[in-house]
């Protein structure tokens, strides 16, 4: 028996990193899960892992920048499992660099993925949660330590996460009477596939600083990091980065609270690399 038996969860960006770990952690508490992401193979693996442990999982290969595809992901959860209790708006991207050298396409991708898609996810969650009996649910928006400090990860990315916090604060008041809770989770630097948008030379020097040979390890721009290398860095340099599981536990903490408890915000940072943004 888990704390989320008979609950239904949607996680955007469930193919990788924090979203993947969250989907698996909430499924381990008994929830049925619908996950969305762009990489079919990765989604299939997450779904297989969840099902192997006895929980329901559906996935959709989708782009959160397309409103209709976010709507379809929420509808898939309802069609498959009959309701929606927890919406985790997690999908996000980051491009670094000064505004003076800014690339509008990268700004657009960050704004559409981190802000607009999250807004659509909130709207769709409310649409379904209003008809739950009893009415209510929980929306978890994945923000960032960068909502508290600017600079380390780029001003535009940071601005998108400030927006996530502002949206969540306003939404919390808007949906309070509907019995919907809104939690913001702000990760600090977490070793996921988030850095894949960095230029190859930046990836190479970051890898070397962590004692990894980028060529031997197969670290390539745009691609997932080899899990073996991630596990080794987390094991050998504790506290430098958070693991995706550390954030999954934060999400689980918020959604497992009794209805009498509202967790507004959780900020989680690595104990050593505490000045790193994310
Ligand atoms: N890692 C950090 O240090 C850190 C720190 C603070 C906040 N965060 C936040 O944590 C969240 C998760 O990031 P992560 O660290 O887990 O990174 P990640 O490993 O790169 O995972 C990001 C997820 O978002 C999905 N995604 C991105 N763009 C998408 C799109 N257009 N349509 C559908 N899915 C999309 C990815 O899907 P595919 O892989 O299938 O493409 C992936 O599942 C983000 O909101 C990020 O801003 C991360």
Domain co-membership, 87 together with 217: no
CA of 12 to the centre of ligand 1 (A): 9
How many domains, in total, are found in the chain?
2
Domain co-membership, 117 together with 186: yes
CATH code, domain with 50 = 3.40.50.720
Domain co-membership, 142 together with 199: no
User: Do the domain assignments include residue 276?
Assistant: no
User: Do the domain assignments include residue 278?
Assistant: no
User: Do the domain assignments include residue 133?
Assistant: yes
Looking at ligand 1, which residue's alpha carbon is closest to its atom 17?
Answer: 194
95 tagged catalytic: no
Domain co-membership, 116 together with 72: yes
Cβ atoms of residues 85 and 60 within 8 Å: no
Tokens coding 211:
């004692």
Looking at ligand 1, which residue's alpha carbon is closest to its atom 42?
Answer: 13
- Bridge partners (DSSP) of residue 186 are 267
Count helices and strands (H / E) in the chain. 10, 7
Q: Pick from 37, 42, 60, 219 the residue to mutate for probing ligand 1's pocket: most ligand atoms within 8 Å of its CB.
A: 37
Chain centroid to CA 80: how far? 22
- 148-159 per-position pLDDT tens digit: 987 666 899 999
Range of the structural domain that residue 246 is part of: 8-190+242-268
Domain co-membership, 85 together with 220: no
85 vs 18: CA distance, rounded Å: 19
Instruction: Judge whether residue 138 has pLDDT over 90.
Output: yes
Match 């006895």 to its residue by tokens: 54
Pocket of ligand 1 (CB under 6 A): 13, 15-19, 36-39, 42, 62-65, 90-94, 113, 142, 144-145, 187, 189-190, 192-194, 278
pTM: 0.97
Domain co-membership, 74 together with 134: yes
- 11-23 per-position pLDDT tens digit: 999 999 999 999 9
User: Do the domain assignments include residue 175?
Assistant: yes
């Amino acid at each position: 028996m888990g704390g989320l038996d008979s609950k239904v969860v949607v996680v955007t960006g469930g193919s990788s990193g924090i979203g993947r770990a969250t989907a698996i952690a909430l499924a381990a508490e008994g929830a049925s899960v619908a996950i969305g992401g762009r990489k079919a193979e990765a989604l299939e693996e997450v779904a297989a892992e969840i099902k192997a442990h006895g929980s329901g999982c559906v996935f959709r290969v989708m782009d959160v920048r397309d409103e209709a595809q976010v709507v379809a992901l929420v509808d898939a959860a309802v069609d498959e499992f009959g309701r929606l209790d927890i919406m985790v708006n997690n999908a996000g991207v980051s491009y670094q660099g000064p505004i003076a050298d800014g690339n509008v396409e990268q700004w657009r991708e960050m704004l559409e993925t981190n802000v607009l898609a999250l807004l659509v996810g909130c709207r769709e969650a409310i649409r379904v949660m209003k008809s739950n009996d009893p009415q209510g649910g929980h929306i978890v928006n994945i923000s960032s330590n960068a909502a508290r400090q600017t600079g380390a990860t780029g001003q535009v990315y940071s601005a998108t996460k400030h927006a996530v916090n502002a949206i969540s604060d306003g939404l919390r008041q808007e949906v309070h009477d509907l019995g919907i809770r809104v939690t913001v989770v702000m990760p600090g630097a977490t070793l996921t596939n988030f850095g894949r948008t960095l230029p190859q030379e930046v990836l190479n020097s970051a890898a070397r600083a962590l004692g990894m040979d980028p060529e031997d390890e197969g670290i390539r721009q745009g691609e997932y990091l080899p899990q073996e290398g991630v596990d080794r860095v987390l094991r050998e340099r504790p506290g430098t980065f958070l693991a995706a599981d550390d954030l999954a536990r934060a999400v689980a903490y918020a959604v497992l609270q009794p209805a009498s408890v509202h967790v507004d915000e959780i900020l989680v940072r690595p104990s050593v690399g505490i000045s790193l943004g994310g």
